[in-house]
Homo-oligomer: A and B are copies of this chain.
Amino acid sequence: MTLSVVSVTVDLVLLTIREGKLQVLLIRRGIPPFEGAWALPGGFVLPGEDLGDAAARELSEETGVRPAHLEQLGTYGSPERDPRGRVITVAYLALLPDLPAPVAGTDAADASWRPVPFTGLAFDHDRILADGVERARSKLEYTPLATAFCPPSFTIAELRAVYETVWRTRLDPRNFHRKVTGAAGFVETTGESVIRDRGRPAQLFRRGSATLLHPALLRPGLGSAQGGRSATDC
């Protein structure tokens, strides 16, 4: 049996909502291949390092934040994906609130948030980014992960803005309010209230303890069609 020796990297799809748009953290590559192109942040897995630890380390290096949520997205290993040789990458997905410090101490050439969709990335990162966005869209349906985009306390309207931004849809504020407050463990009230724009003050909420939404918040529109085939299908 021929033993294939390869290099392994982790790449991060870091999503946030800034200026009302879904954005992804990209770095501009300072070295070949794809010098000057935008790419997902990432790096080689260190010897003796677990994959999830490598992803958390990269996340910390890039943003300085402790991840509210970091999940494995998929592994990409096409033989031609890296001109330097056989490099497979394990992609991770994280959802972050709008960070106060734009991008903390980063070792990359330069890093910045870019609105998605964004194409022309190095390697197969277009595909990885697309898979990450689709994963995020679908996870908002049946998990309370939308709160990962929010600060510790937030209003229902702000949570709704997360859904509207990620799903690129408009949701009825009254029905949304009913469903969010009705889903067990999604959010819990803090007792405080604030005035965000104009109008009546809104209650502040924090994340609840549920890990799964019941009932789920299904995306409107797509009756039974869609079914975006993901990279993990064969």
Q: How far is the CA of A44 from the CA of B225 in the complex (A)?
A: 37
A212 to B55, CA, bound (A): 31
Neighbouring B residues of A213 by C-beta, 8 Å: 224
A119 at the interface (CB under 8 A from B): no
Instruction: Say whether A75 faces chain B, with CB atoms less than 8 Å apart.
Output: yes
Smallest Cβ-Cβ distance to A142: which chain B residue = B142
- A185 contacts across to B, CB distance below 8 A: 224
| CA gap between A86 and B54 in the complex, in Å | 15
The smallest beta-carbon distance between A27 and chain B, in angstroms, is 15
- In chain B, what residue has the closest Cβ to A94? B234
Q: With an 8 A cutoff between CB atoms, is A5 at the interface?
A: yes
Stretch at the interface among A33-41, A66-74, A153-161: A66-74
Which listed residue, B51, B223, B229, B233, touches A75 by the CB 8 Å rule? B51
Chain A interface, number of residues (Cβ within 8 angstroms): 54
Contact with B along A1-24 (1 / 0, CB 8 A): 111111110000000000000000
Q: Does the CB pair A49–B234 fall under 8 Å?
A: no
For the complex, is A92 an interface residue (Cβ under 8 Å from B)? Answer: yes
A97 CB within 8 Å of chain B? no
B79 and A49 contacting across the interface, CB-CB below 8 Å: yes
Which B residues are CB-close (under 8 A) to A6? 5-8, 45
Q: Is the CB of A2 within 8 A of B44?
A: yes
Residues of B within 8 A of A44 (CB): 1-4
- Contact surface of A with B, Cβ cutoff 8 Å: 1-8, 43-52, 55-56, 67, 69-79, 86, 88, 90, 92, 183-185, 210-214, 223-227, 229, 231-234
